[in-house]
Structures are given as C-alpha cells and as structure tokens.
Structure 1
Amino acid sequence: MSSPVRRAGAFAGVGTLALVAPIDERVATALFAVVALAAVFVTDGPVFELFARPGDHRDERLKGLVGFSVAAVVLGFLTSFTGLTVQVFAGSIVLYAYGNLAAELGRSYGDGPFADAAGFVVGGLLAGISAQYIALVLAGSPLPHASQIVVMATCGALVGALIRTVLLGRDDPPVILSIGLLLWLLSEVTVTPSTVDVAIALVVTVAVGYLSYALETASVEGMLTGVFLAFVAIVLGGYAWFAVMIAFFGIGGLSTKYRFEEKQARGVAEGNDGARGSANVLGNATVALASVFGYAAADAGLIDIAPLLFLFAFAGSLSTALADTLSSEIGSVFDDPRLITTFKRVEPGTDGAVTWQGELAGGIGAGTIGLLTGLLFASIGTTGSIVVVVAGIAGMTVDSLVGATLEGTYLANQSVNFLATLSGGLVGVGLAIGLALV
C-alpha cells in the first residue's frame, strides 16, 4: 500500500470519531480537539510519519491533521449551539475522510485529476450515505426519506470533489466546512423525488458531465461544477429545470469549438483548448443555482416568495448566459467588431466589442431558452417565453456594456458574466411582476 493511501486511511480512521456525535456531540467535539492538540506536539516518530503530508515534513508539524481536526471541532460547536444536526456533522466529516481515501485509491489505479475526482465522489457518496444512516439510528431519530439522504450525500461529494480539485487537495478546513454548510442547507429543504428519480438524476448528470469532459468542452473542475448544478436542478426543481440548464451547457460548450482554430489564430479562443473551468461555469450559472435553491425553499414554505418568481430568475439568467456565450463565440470569428459604447471599430476580442453576427447569434440563444421554457413549463406561457427572451437579450447587452467599461480594470470576466446573468434574472422577474404573470 502506498504512503498516500496509508495516510488517507489514517485520516479516515480519525474521521470515524464523528460517529460518536449521535451519542454525545460534545464528546465527539472534545475528541477532535484532543487530536488537534496532540498533533501540535507530534514532530517525529511513527505517528508523525503516518499522518505527515509532504509539507508537514518540511515544517515538522502535522498541519494537515490539525486543520482536519479543527474543522471537525467547528462543526461540533455548530452542532451543540445551532440547528446543525448530528446527521450533518457525522455525514460531512465521514464523507470527506473516506472520500479522500477513495480518491487516493483512485489515483493509484488511474492517472490525473479525473481519477482523483471520480474516486472522491464515489467513496464520499457511499460514506456519506452510510454515516448519515448510522448517525440517525444511533441518535434514535426518525429516518427521513431515502432520497433526502442520497441527495445530501451526492451534493456533498460533488462539492467536496470540486473544492479539492480547485485547492489541489491540500486544504481540509474549507472543504469540510463547505460540505457541512451545504448539507445543513439541504437538510432544511424538503426533497420530494423518489429514490428512482434520484438514481436517474445521478446517472444522467454523471453521463452528461463525463461527455463534456471527454469532448473537452469542460475541465475536471468545470465538469464537477456542471454535474452538481444539473443534479441540483433535477432533485430540487425537476427534469424540466434540468433540460433548460443542459441546453445552456450543451449548446454553449459546443459553440466554443466552432471554428476554434480560427479563434486561436485571432487570439480570442477560450483558454485550456476551449474546456471551461469552474470559474467560468459558476460565473454563468450561479444565479441559476441560487434560483433553484430559492424555488425549493419557497415551495417548502421556508420563505414567503412566490416560487414562480424564481423560475423566471432561473430562465432569465440562463437565457442571458447562452445569449452571451453564443454572441461571443460566434461573433468573434467575424471582422469589423465595434465597441458597444461608441460603435467605433476595435480589434477582435476587445472587451465590450460586438458584431451584428454575434448579436444575431445571441438573440437566437435567448430565443432557444425562451422557447424551451415555454414548452416545458405550463405556468410560463407564451408571454412568459417572450419575457425570458427579452431578459436574455437585456442581460447580454449588460455584459457588453460592463465589459466595455469595467472589465480588465475593475472586474474579471467571470464577475462580468455573473453581473450579466444577475441582470437577466432580475429583468425576467421584474417583467413577470409588471405583466402580472406571477
């Protein structure tokens, strides 16, 4: 067994202490505190070698074990003094610990970040489900619907794998705490899909995610982000929400390959050979993700807002995202771009530059999302479809205006994308209210 696998196994053993929480969360928290304190004073010997990461040898301190244990202590305090449950406490820590072990096993049989991410997701999912069930049984709590537990474990595993990939798997606290807070949020939202629906959602989203990675339209972190967003769309919204989201990902991803060599020659091609990373995906889909969670919370009665408003925000933001993507990817291969604020000719790739071909492509993108939304959601209707199209074109225009005035100097491209999709979502909501569609 390799040293990284042994080390991950040792961390998994420590993580198992979280299963004491259902009996007494204060004892579990104290155990992790003891481990953290002891790790500070272990500077050599067999225990040090068992837990030491490469950087720990250089610093002669078990920083990794300290950070892991301190993160567990934070979740323990939240369990003792807030509404975070022992199900979430145990599920988060065990998911992360055994997900790491599975990731190391994956790396020993595969190569590269994909094997690492796949191992973490599979191992974390199984460990997260098991830990939640064990915690609930030991605590004597009533068991929720199986789909609730599976959804929580799946989302935790995907987000954990994503953050580990971005951080190169080196920082435990932000990953553990992110998983814990996400599971806490999901535990407050009623998940209604059947176990079969959740299984279908898993298969479909993973298949689509792997296809995007295989076609090189997304990097590993971009793939994980897309799979997470699509899975959440299905389980909290439904297949119609997923269809709208996947239309954006699919059409937008393929558009990056359109005349790619020509775009490379012009210096306007998407980096990483056109494979979109997590920052790009989140910049375009954060508003959509928030809208899905908002819809689920409103539908569950947790917030006093009409659920349909979140659907208009969702559709308006994705209409903007696809319009902007097509406008950029199609328009960048044509000559004579003009700056949207002055209409003066500028070089291809200039922030805020537009072409009539790109604007037309963007309008078609917005129309695609509007048409799809109208067909899939009876509550949207024809007028609602037009609202979604208008929102997408408005958001695309905001993207160009902000790009021409603020991008590069004050804002990065991902921030501009976020502001544009937020604008599209708000326009969709505003028009829906103004036209009394909600």
Structure 2
Amino acid sequence: MNKVVEEKLSEPILNKKKKKIGSKIMKSKKLFDRWRFFSLLSAIIACVALFPASSDYETGWSEARTPTNCAINEDRSIAHRHLIMWLSFVSILLLIPYKYYFLKWKRHIPKTFHELPSFQKLTLMQVFAMRKKPKLRDYFSGEVIPVTILLLILPYPGLNWEFVVPQQILYKRVEICYFVAEPMYAIMFLRWIYLIVSLFNYGRYQNQVAVRHREKWGVPMSPAFSLKCYLNQYPLFMLFFFFIIPGILIFGSLMRIFERPMHMPSLDYDYAGNAYWNSIITMMTVGFGDFYPVTTLGRFIVAMSAIYGGVILSFTFVSLGSILQLQPNEKNALNRILLSSAATGAIVSALSYNKSNIKNIEDRYHAWNSVKTNSKNFMEFKELIGTDKVEGEEAVDSLKERVINLESKIEGLKATAEGIIHKLSHI
C-alpha cells in the first residue's frame, strides 16, 4: 500500500521532469531553426541586391564608350547604388543573430542528451567544452569573415574610378578602360553561391536527427555533406539546376561585362544572349568560334568557364552511367527474360525438327545442328545465371526473416504492455 502511495506521489514529479526535458528539446529545435533562418534570410537579401546592381550597370552604360574612353551615362539614377549598399549592409547585420543562435544552439545540445543521447560516447571534458561560453573570436569564426568580405564588395555611390588593362590585339598594343565598379559587379554574382550554400542547410540531411548521426560517424557539419547526398539521390536534377544553369548565368554575365567595351562589329556583346551563348558552347567544350573573347579579363573568364564545364560534363557522364546501369532487380528480370527466350528457341527448334519431313540429308543435318546449338546455348546460359538463386534473392529472404522476427518481437511487446495496463487498472 505504501509503495502504491509513493508511486502516485512521485507521478507529478516525473511528469514535471519529462515536461522539462521536452522543453529542452523544443528549445534546441527553436535555436536550430532560428540560426538556419537568419543564414538563409541574409543570403536572400544579398542576392536581391543583384537586381539593382544589374539595373545600375545597364542604365550607366553609354553608347559613346570606346575601349580607350570610359564614357558614362550622366542621366542614370544614383538610387540603385544606395539600394545595393543598404541591402548588403542589412545582409551583413543578419550574420550577427545567425552566429549568436548557432553558438547558443551548440552550447545547448548537451542539455538534450538525457532524452536524446548522443550516438557518440562523449567524455565529461568534451561535454564541458561544448557547454563552455563562447568567446568573442568565436563569433567571427567559420564563414562569417569570408561572407562579410564578399558582401562588402559592391559599387558604392560616387565610385566612378577608372583603370586600364594593357594587352595585345592583332599585333597592336591596346589599353582597355574599365570602371572599378565593373569588376565589383562581377564579384557580386558570387552571392548566388552563398544562397545555394544556405539552402543546403535545410532538408532531411540537416535536421537534428541527421546531426546526431553525423556526430556518430565523425562527419563534420557542413553544407557539403548535404550537397553530396542530394547529388547521390538526384544527380541530373542537381547538375542541371544547381550547377549548369547558375554556371551559364554567372560566366555569361561576367563575359559580357569585360567584353562589352570593345564594341567590335563581329562580336556584339551588347546583346546579353550572345554572352550566354558563348558561355554555353564553352562549358559544353564545343567552341564553334562564332563568339570568342578578345580582352585579357574575358579570356580569363572563358578559361574558368572551360574548366568548370569539363568538371560538370564528367559529373554528367557519371550520373547518366549510373542511371542507365541496371539495378539488381532489373538485372534479375533481364536474366529471366533471356533464359526464357533461350529455352523457347531450343524447344521451337526441337519441335520443328521432329515435325519436319526433310528428306535431304544435308538439310536435315543443318536442322539438327540448329537444335544442338539452341540447346547448348540454353544450358550454358542456365549455368551462367543459375536457376536456384539469382542475384538479390538471398537478400530478400534475409529481409523477410528480419521482418518476421521484428513482428514477433512487436507482438511480445504488445502483450507485455497490455499486461501492465491491466495491472494498473486494478490498482
């Protein structure tokens, strides 16, 4: 009786403890979602700044510009550059809450080990290290400084400086004039990479369960792991939408920025489609030669585009090869079809030989050889693939056994639970 009273008195304490543990897990999840949200929001705002940057470049372009004269459209609005600057600064400021919640989440993880134990056995010193209060330098670790530098590179209001790139064109020395803002437009396109990396912080490979599994196997926490997983599962989709299309847009835009000042009649880069076309044929290693770079900076972009295209093409061939390769079940089905076809050929040739009334000895000899050849092919193919067990059947049988054992264990647990409930109902 005293035992029953003690159990009933301890129930509120246990429920309160469970509720407290559950609240710790929920807090960890909130912190986890918050740092991912601020990271993605920072990347989105940084990429939104590309639209006023493109508008600023187009409106500032002057038809009077020549390779040696950096003319600019004086009627353009300065509001575009102000918008670019403020959007970039807001994106940088969002890195502060991102890093704050990220470090707070990492520090909070050991509190959830009571309900969700770590897959990897941690020592007490490791737990103390995880619970240690972050220092100031921890807020600037990781990708914070590189991303901040990238976001600070932009065409600031009033920045109309010029520089000259000397080079040889058709045995003549030519000095090509650029604005400092134009390489900055080009560098700003790298913000798309920042957005793609932030997107890979979401998905099935970046939730809290996946984090625990990665800790077990010593896989570092990075978007690269998600990228590899998605490439393994959806190779063609990832290659097309995350590598090929962004590569064409980025390299095409850079090509247009650096080649447009030449104003050559045969190489019209005023039309953006020609720059993207050049990027496509370069990445695909075709190189028709109808459009090609003339400037030093343009040639550098084309060289990077060719290297990038070679890597992407190798990925594409490997992905296509894995898709066209027969799966184990498909291979088993193909072997069975071929075996049935060989058996049918042997039977048909034997029946035709028995029913035929061939009187010519030579024709009868050829018909008998056909029967022997078909029968031999059938026996050889039968021995090659086997008839008792084909590839994958053993794995299916072992899987069935596991399912049966699991079902029996579930039934046992169900009976135990029913017994406990029955006893509790009579207390």
Q: Could you state the TM-score of these two structures normalised by the residue count of structure 1?
A: 0.28
Q: Could you state the TM-score of these two structures normalised by the residue count of structure 2?
A: 0.29
Name the structure where helix makes up a greater proportion of residues.
1
Bigger radius of gyration = 2
